[in-house]
């Protein structure tokens, strides 16, 4: 990550391709079959960064993730008549094997007092892929332990 004014055109394209273009290509590949069958669920992995908040040095990432939400919302209108829903998940701080210490610490500053888990994101994806989510489309489902709700961030002590 780097400030936008230091980002090369190649760096811009790389970031957009990794997140937005790959999402477009996969969605375009599966959508005709879903429309033909009259049923489908598209769940895209966006982020809170971009659609809701920004992080210094993450303009390309934020643009790509916000672009995913814009694409999902327009596609929800196009695909809705075919019983195809299109939604995005917006993870916040999620602890994975590749998480840096700063990301894990940032999770402690959420109202939940911790970073989320990949399983928590997976459960949302399973729900959005189900029949029970048939009336949810074009939405960003935020899974961030309440992080984007608070303006003043403080570490929460679970014992209080």
Spot the catalytic one: 14, 61, 109, 135: 61
Q: How many residues does the chain have?
A: 160
The closest of 118, 110, 119 to 144, measured between CA atoms, is: 110
Note the pTM of the prediction, 2 decimals: 0.92
pLDDT digits (tens, 9 = 90+) for 39-86: 999 999 999 999 999 999 999 999 999 999 999 999 999 999 999 999
- Domain extent listing, the chain: 4-147
Query: What's the topology of domain 4-147?
Result: Rossmann fold (3.40.50)
Q: What is the pLDDT of residue 1?
A: 79
61 annotated active-site: yes
Q: What is the pLDDT of residue 44?
A: 98
36, containing H or E segment: helix 22-37
What residues of the chain score a pLDDT lower than 70?
155-160
CB 153 within 8 A of CB 109: yes
């Amino acid at each position: 990550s780097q400030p936008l004014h230091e980002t090369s055109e190649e760096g811009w394209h790389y970031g957009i391709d990794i997140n937005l273009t790959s999402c477009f290509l996969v969605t375009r590949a599966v959508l005709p079959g879903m429309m033909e069958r009259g049923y489908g669920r598209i769940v895209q992995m966006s982020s809170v960064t971009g659609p809701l908040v920004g992080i210094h040095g993450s303009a390309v990432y934020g643009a790509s993730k916000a672009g995913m939400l814009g694409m999902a919302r327009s596609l929800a209108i196009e695909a809705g008549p075919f019983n195809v829903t299109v939604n995005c998940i917006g993870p916040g701080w999620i602890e994975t094997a590749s998480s840096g210490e700063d990301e894990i610490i940032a999770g402690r500053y959420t109202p939940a007092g911790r970073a989320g888990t990949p399983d928590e994101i997976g459960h949302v994806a399973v729900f959005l892929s189900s029949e029970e989510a048939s009336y949810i489309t074009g939405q960003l489902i935020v899974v961030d332990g309440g992080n984007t709700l608070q303006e003043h961030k403080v570490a929460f002590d679970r014992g209080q």
